Structure 1
Amino acid sequence: MAAASEGESQELLLRQWERRQVELKQQMIDHDTEDWQNNEVFEGLERIGGMDLSYIKGDEVNACASLVVLSYPDLKVVYEECQMVCLNAPYIPGFLAFRETPFLEEAVRRLQDKDPSLLPQVIFADGNGILHHREFGVACHLGVLTDLPCIGVAKNLLHVDGLEEKDLLKEKVKDLQKGGNAFSLTGSSGKVLGMALKSCEKSTKPIYVSVGHRISLDTALRLTHSCCKYRVPEPIRQADIRSREYIREKVHIP
């Protein structure tokens, strides 16, 4: 009976999440909304956020949520916060945001209360936006909840809507010769879900950029490339570095 009750509870939770996801998706904006997005050098953009959630190795519950804010265009860290969190919500494919985003949103709210002058004008999320099973990944979820422009950047391609590592895709990746080269990721439905980007000259693998909220795909792609010293955009890279270092210090991992 206990197992059945647990299954019923998860089914109820899934239905609640489905309804909530639909509600949030209706609020998602997939075009540019800010003046700085409408010029080549992003004039007026001064602060970029990066968010990451790093797990303790072998532990799927305890993790470190990290928010960094970088100056733009010089990409220097002007704010950082790392906090250990406990992820009690279950992992259900397609609904990862419900497990992770509450802690990321809280970090943004704390910064807003602490020093609004450092609030980022756009956030890079380590994950997908509309490049997602239900076209509403963590970058969309976080963007709508914080009402900030948000870009999803993933290191691995999520196989949705016919996007697979087939020969054609591999050939397209080979054609990405220079940093900034990109190609669109068009699903079987005909919808462009994101872009594969060779983010810097030395990178041998593309990253996958998709719209989260209040930004167009073209702007998201250009801004992502401008933030890449290495394969991963600097805001996400710094959030990842600092969250992992925080875990080593707090949990005493060698």
Structure 2
Amino acid sequence: MLRPVLEYRHPENAKAAIALQEELRQQISLQDDFGDVQLVAGVDVGFEDQGATVRAAVVVLQLPGLAVVESAIARRPTAFPYIPGLLSFREIPVLLDVLAKLKTTPDLILCDGNGYIHPRRFGLACHLGLLLDHPTIGVAKSRFLGEHPALGEVAGDWQPITHQGETIGAIVRNRTNVRPIYVSSGHRVGLASAIKFVRQCSTKYRLPETTRLADRLSKQDGVL
């Protein structure tokens, strides 16, 4: 079971949300601060009722081996509009709900979404990790921000993503000749370790098993 150590604060509007991100980002740690990682969780969010309901899924896997240990689903009414850069305020409340349902406590959480790859360096993985004070990694399917050198075509190839002179994440080829993914620190995990864990959680698919299975479970009729 995971419970927040910081209270979630829900902003009234986009301006308040941006101000809250600016405040909270000062507390994020981009350094490795975790013990032995044996259980890894993936979290993802989907929507039901034409967007009126947000549905969160979590899947916990063993590392190594990636056997499924536990999974859970939670739902809430959608309480914040879709605004790029502020997606965590749509998803965090229900993610906290679903993580609180776990009987096991994962050592690391991989989020379907960005972490430090964010204009204010405070994406979903950063927000969730800070509230829980727990190691988190962002794994996004599409490019959001920044520039990078040309990426090789072989699985395991990666390049740093930079923005305004700062390295904010990495573009990673998880399968040979398959579209890349975008990896970044959330909280208490450095970028090198984030890439390492994403690769360790990956098999024959583009996405790591953590977020791939959470994505399936988050769909309206999803099953593992």
2:189 corresponds, among 191, 207, 215, to 215
Residue-by-residue CA offset, 1:33-90 (whole Å, 9 max, x unaligned): 124xxxxxxxx3210010000124x822223210111111111111100123321222
Unaligned runs of 5+ in 2: 1-10
Distance 1:110 1:12 in 2: 27
Corresponding residue number in structure 2 for 1:102: 93
Counterpart residue number, 1:125: 111
1:206 aligns with: 180
Aligned match of 1:153 in 132, 139, 151?
139
> In the TM superposition, what are the counterparts of 1:162-173 in structure 2 within 5 Å?
163=147, 172-173=150-151
In the other structure, the counterpart of 1:180 is 156
Provide structure 1 residue ranges, at least 5 long, that are not aligned to the other structure: 1-10, 36-43
Shift of 1:12: 5.5
Shift of 1:249: 7.2
Q: Does 1:53 align with 2:45?
A: yes
Contact 2:174 2:181 in 1 (8 A): yes
Structure holding more strand per residue: 2
> What is the CA distance between 1:21 and its match in structure 2?
1.6
- For normalisation by structure 2, the TM-score amounts to 0.87
Instruction: Work out the number of aligned pairs and report it.
Output: 212
- Where 1:222 maps in the other structure, the secondary structure is helix
Greater helix proportion: 1
Q: Structure 1 segments of 4 or more deviating over 3 A?
A: none
Instruction: Report the identity percentage.
Output: 35
2:14 aligned with 1:14, yes or no?
Answer: yes
Q: Secondary structure at the match of 1:26?
A: helix
Q: Would the alpha carbon gap of residues 228 and 184 (structure 1) be closer, same or farther in structure 2, given more than 3 Å must change? A: same
Match of 2:5 in 1: none
Tell me if the contact between 2:43 and 2:110 (Cα under 8 Å) persists in the aligned partners: yes
Q: What is the distance in 1 between the residues matched to 2:82 and 2:218?
A: 21
Q: CA RMSD in A?
A: 2.0
In structure 2, what is the equivalent of residue 3 of structure 1? none
* CA distance 1:249–1:183, change in 2 (3 Å): closer
Q: Verify the 8 A CA contact 1:47 1:120 in the aligned structure 2.
A: yes
Using the TM superposition, give the Cα deviation of residue 16 of structure 1 relative to its aligned residue in structure 2, in angstroms.
2.5
